Amino acid sequence: MKRVEKRTINLLGQSQDFVLRRPPRTRYLRLRISSDGALSVAAPRSYPIFLINQFISSRAQWIVTNIKKVKDRHSLLSLKHQASEIKKYKITTKELLESRLKHFNQSYNFSFRRIAIRNQRSRWGSCSSKGNLNFNYRLCLLPPDLADYIIVHELCHLGQMNHSKHFWQLVAKAIPDYKARQKDLKKL
């Protein structure tokens, strides 16, 4: 049996492509709509295809509605740029990160290994367990208050590698209105 299959199903009178994945440790059916509107389904290896199709069909309205939302949303993350623009934005983002990380880390005093600037379609940033900070090159295109929120968010993961109450207390130390900034970021 293949671990990844491309399949099609009829949802509300329309043909819908999806990717069926069967990771070894998956115990439950899960749906995911990616930032480009692609549908994927994770299922246990032994789960029969007719039950997977029933599961997808039972959530047809949710799937169609959310795929439409994703495709209609012209988020900053989905913008595509020319290679020359990306190069320019990476330089600007690097300068921004060096300045703002130095500023915010004066109060946190966290140590990190390296900073990477990447072309990501679904994330603004991430922090690895090895202490590497990764940021989207589009960070320099954000309003400064939202860029600061993302920088502080990832910086705080160096102190707390989860989204616990303690993590949010760390974030609030530098960004007391982080909840409002999260909402603003989701609107982009």
pLDDT digits (tens, 9 = 90+) for 118-176: 998 778 999 999 999 999 999 999 999 999 999 999 999 999 999 999 999 999 999 99
Q: Where in the chain is the domain with CATH 3.30.2010.10?
A: 79-187
Q: Is 73 helix (H, G, I), strand (E, B) or coil?
A: coil
Q: Decide yes or no: CATH 3.30.2010.10 for domain 79-187.
A: yes
pTM above 0.75, yes or no: no
Burial label for 8, CB within 10 Å (0-12, 13-18, 19+), is exposed
Burial label for 45, CB within 10 Å (0-12, 13-18, 19+), is exposed
From residue 38, give the alpha-carbon distance in Å to each of 2, 7, 16: 20, 12, 9
Note whether 141 and 81 are within 8 A (CB): no
Residue type, 48: P
pLDDT digits (tens, 9 = 90+) for 31-51: 998 867 889 999 999 999 999
The CB-side HSE value for 50 (13 A sphere, CA atoms) comes to: 0
